[in-house]
Amino acid sequence: MQEETTQKTIALVFKSSRLTADVLKKAMKLYLEHRRAGKQATHGKISVKELVGQGMGASSIEVTDNNIKSFERVAKKYNVDFAVKKDKTVEPPKYMVFFKGKDADVITQAFKEFVKVNEKKRGRVSVKEKLAEFRELLGKDKNRDRAREHQKDRGQSL
């Protein structure tokens, strides 16, 4: 199998008046960019127009959470194509998440994980708050030690 990999060749055809290293380098870069562009399938956040244009029929879910941006990470994990549209007519604004009809089961699983992660984050105490508490405790102890040292020095006489 490794022999097949090492024996693989690529035919690259281009027109040029003079073959230089720069021309060859540019042709190779164009070829590699073309290969990358062909392999990449778009998953994640796309526009509503692109989603509807895929011809699969779009479904939607209404979300009121302001932290909709963190949903993108979970949706990319599940390879879900989705589009987010903000409804500004309602106070507080609501978000409509559009997705392909065939992805209904996957999107519900992604939303379950999204909700679970958000609940976990809300239950945590922030690191800044913990640091502030420790600073207060350390500040009180330092003052007490300084006061003791002061008294010891005053009490001694020669």
Q: Classify residue 16 by burial, with Cβ atoms within 10 Å: 0-12, 13-18, 19+.
A: exposed
Give residue for tokens 């029929």.
57
More confident residue, 28 or 73: 28
Rounded-to-integer distance, Cα 15 and Cα 19, Å: 9
Mean pLDDT score, 96-119: 78
- For the whole model, what pTM was predicted? 0.45
pLDDT tens-digit map of 13-56: 888 888 899 998 998 898 888 888 765 556 667 777 777 777 66
Query: Which residues, in sequence order, are CB contacts of 48 under 8 Å at separation 6+?
Result: 58, 83, 85, 98
